[in-house]
Structure 1
Amino acid sequence: MLDWEERRLMVKIAKLYYFEGWTQAQIAKKHNVSRPVISKLLNAAKKEGIVEIYIKDETIHTIDLEQQLEKKFGLKEVIVVSTAGFTQEMAKRQLGKAGASYISKNLKNIKNIGISWGSTLLSLVEEYPYERNAHIRIVPIIGGMGNNYVHLHSNQLAFNLAQKMNTSCMYLYAPAMVESDDLKEMLVHTKDIAMVLEEGRKVDMAVVGIGNPFKDSTLEVMGYLKESDLTSLKKAGAVGNIGSCFFNEVGMEIDHPLNDRFIGLNIEEIKKIPEVIGIVEGSHKLESIEAALVGGCLNVLITDDRTAQALLDN
């Protein structure tokens, strides 16, 4: 039990430190004691309930989720965006802003950025600020050709992001998926395509989306997947895809004909990139995201708060 004098001293020191903005060194000098004594008294004030510290801000909820996810999956960083009451389009835009901000602030020593494709990455590119990064080159890490959904293709996203950064990009002139193994082999060994794929393997940072082939799949909407493909993918144990490469529940590339016919970096090649940023929203992708995290496909995750909570509860 503290006596009156001890309690009074703790209150006095706490007031100077928390309300008046004094440093511990300044308080120590005033009371003619060492700084560790002040630190000890401040900690004692918390234990005795004299001082209670809490953060009064709605973002504390998302910060807690971020820290728990970083610890659970061993990630470099997690950014959780609150999207309560948002439409799916609004949620993607918020994630795009968060992704653009993260990349813009973490470009030190980055010379090449790989980019995949999809609607969430489109939001990132649209939200990216105009800046000068002429030393950085943007490289598409998956093919994408045709007349439909061109705005989602990696080449278009690479071009638009390069414009925002006032820099250059490469183009991967190949479809995301071809009709046969032979055609793929022929294409990936052509000089231009082989060169871009090799540059993709050497990027310092990559930004990717994660798909669930069975729910709201952009691959299906774009016509790459038929009903028979979905049935065989499920039998083969597919739970998600990065680009057009399908993986199982532990984030390993599955043995499936479709994985032999896509043009781009495969899962194992993506895992070797020093920093892979996954931007993904929607609890319908929960199993896909968790598998990618378990398999070590990502270093950085940017997602919404509902999905983040589900990842922790699952």
Structure 2
Amino acid sequence: MQSLIEIQQQLLPDMLVVMRKRYLILRQVMLSDMIGRRTLAASLDMTERVLRAETDFLKSQDLLLIDAAGMRISEAGKRLLEDMEPYYKVMFGLSELEERIRKHFGLKQVVVVAGDSENSLHSKRELGRAGCTALRKAMGKDDVVAVTGGSTIAQVASQLTSQTPLKGNWFVPARGGLGESLDYQANTIASTMAKRTGAQYRMLHVPDHLGEEAYTSLMQEPNVREIVEVIRKARIVIHGIGDAIVMARRRRVDATVIEAMKAEGALAESFGYYFDRKGAVVRKMLTAGLRLEDIMETEVVIAIAGGQHKAEAIAAVMRFGHDDVLVTDEAAAMELAAIMDREEKQ
């Protein structure tokens, strides 16, 4: 059966053109928080005369607030955008894009949110919200969820809520902490997720990157060994994806090792492992927490990453082949499609 949108595309194509135009205006105003008419017209490649007519209409519907400082979206406008989201995916071809990426990488589900999370805080929040939805869909009773660090997974944590407390569930860090902002460390994110959902949590108070001697010593500690055993039995893993060299530098990896990684073709990082363009593991760091063999046995693996510049890294980790769900944004998805096009031509 055809959807209403598909019927409208056939019978009233002009109406969809107008709907799309007004949707884009509202979305761009929301992403900008406050914006002037000239700047908005330039960003949408629209004349100021046409834009003025449309924004005047949106103001008359109480969807936009306009004053001398510029334009802001109203609460009613935000609610309308949220209600339109399922139709947006059809109108802009994102549903087809999701399915194409899903089939190409052999995933169970792909979710694409609007915008570019690399350049828009709102889009990053949307990425986090979609990650919350994917996680809640996967979670059952008495589950253990292992989470990695990073700003994107922190967005998931900040928006995770539960009307029904998840008292039997546990959130645990997938690995030790990075030497970065406390807000983005896996321990912090795991505890935030637990507190926001009424679940329980455990922390792993060890460095992220360990030498062989330190690793051997720590793994002999009963408390460390106990929490590591819990982590390695997680049914769900939710993780971010990073640029290999950027992540190596943040972990203060020795410069000679970084040069060796470049020579090995390291492109992406996730779970503390470094992947080349084909999805092969080219280097791993000793760490207390999830190992590659644990990831390969995990029942549900959810990747959340966005931004055009992350597309190559996302593709590399997806080629590794052990993710079930990918939550990404429009910018990364479009670039992924371009990568797929190049591969199909080769």
TM class by shorter-chain length?
0.7 to 0.9
Q: Does 1:238 align with 2:244?
A: no
Runs (4+) of structure 1 exceeding 4 A deviation are: 51-56
Moved more, 102-111 or 65-74: 102-111
For the residues of structure 2 that align with 1:87 and 1:242, how far apart are their CA atoms?
22
Deviations 1:91-121 (A, max 9, x none): 2211001111222233235611111111100
Query: What displacement does 1:312 show?
Result: 2.2
Out of 135, 145, 149, the residue aligned to residue 168 of structure 2 is 135
Give runs of aligned pairs for residues 295-306 of structure 1, distance below 5 A: 295-306=320-331
Residue pair 1:137, 1:169 contacting (<8 A) in 2 also? yes
Deviations 1:185-237 (A, max 9, x none): 211232222222222221111100011123xx3553x4533543321211223
Out of 251, 261, 273, the residue aligned to residue 298 of structure 2 is 273
Query: What displacement does 1:299 show?
Result: 0.7
Q: Does 1:187 align with 2:215?
A: no
For the residues of structure 1 that align with 2:160 and 2:182, how far apart are their CA atoms?
19
Amino acid paired to 1:292: V
Question: Residues 251 and 156 (structure 1 numbering): CA distance in 2 closer, same or farther, change over 3 Å?
Answer: same
TM-score norm. by structure 1 comes to 0.75
Query: What displacement does 1:239 show?
Result: 1.4
Amino acid paired to 1:128: L
Q: Does 1:282 align with 2:307?
A: yes
Give runs of aligned pairs for residues 115-130 of structure 1, distance below 5 A: 115-130=147-162
Query: What displacement does 1:175 show?
Result: 0.7
Secondary structure (helix, strand or coil) at the match of 1:65 reads: helix
Secondary structure (helix, strand or coil) at the match of 1:298 reads: coil
- Which blocks of at least 5 consecutive residues in structure 1 are unaligned? 1-13, 20-45
Match of 2:58 in 1: none
Residue pair 1:118, 1:209 contacting (<8 A) in 2 also? yes
For the residues of structure 1 that align with 2:230 and 2:149, how far apart are their CA atoms?
17
Match of 1:30 in 2: none
For the residues of structure 2 that align with 1:53 and 1:170, how far apart are their CA atoms?
56
Greater Cα radius of gyration, structure 1 or 2: 1
Match of 1:209 in 2: 240
Match of 2:29 in 1: none
Q: Does 1:58 align with 2:88?
A: yes
Secondary structure (helix, strand or coil) at the match of 1:246 reads: strand
Amino acid paired to 1:188: M
For the residues of structure 2 that align with 1:218 and 1:121, how far apart are their CA atoms?
15
Amino acid paired to 2:276: N
Q: Does 1:153 align with 2:188?
A: no
How many percent identity over aligned positions?
24
For the residues of structure 1 that align with 2:181 and 2:248, how far apart are their CA atoms?
11
Match of 2:278 in 1: 250
Residue pair 2:272, 2:285 contacting (<8 A) in 1 also? no
Out of 316, 333, 343, the residue aligned to residue 291 of structure 1 is 316
Query: What displacement does 1:301 show?
Result: 0.1
Match of 2:227 in 1: 196
Match of 1:229 in 2: 257
Residue pair 2:209, 2:285 contacting (<8 A) in 1 also? no
Residue pair 1:110, 1:205 contacting (<8 A) in 2 also? no
User: Aligned-residue CA RMSD in angstroms?
Assistant: 2.8
For the residues of structure 2 that align with 1:268 and 1:252, how far apart are their CA atoms?
14
For the residues of structure 2 that align with 1:251 and 1:80, how far apart are their CA atoms?
22
Secondary structure (helix, strand or coil) at the match of 1:238 reads: coil
Query: What displacement does 1:295 show?
Result: 1.2
TM-score norm. by structure 2 comes to 0.68
Residue pair 1:210, 1:280 contacting (<8 A) in 2 also? yes
Q: Does 1:100 align with 2:132?
A: yes
Query: What displacement does 1:85 show?
Result: 9.3
Deviations 1:32-58 (A, max 9, x none): xxxxxxxxxxxxxx9xxxx87999532
Question: How many pairs were matched up?
Answer: 261
- Which blocks of at least 5 consecutive residues in structure 2 are unaligned? 17-86, 340-346
For the residues of structure 2 that align with 1:18 and 1:245, how far apart are their CA atoms?
43
Match of 1:82 in 2: 114
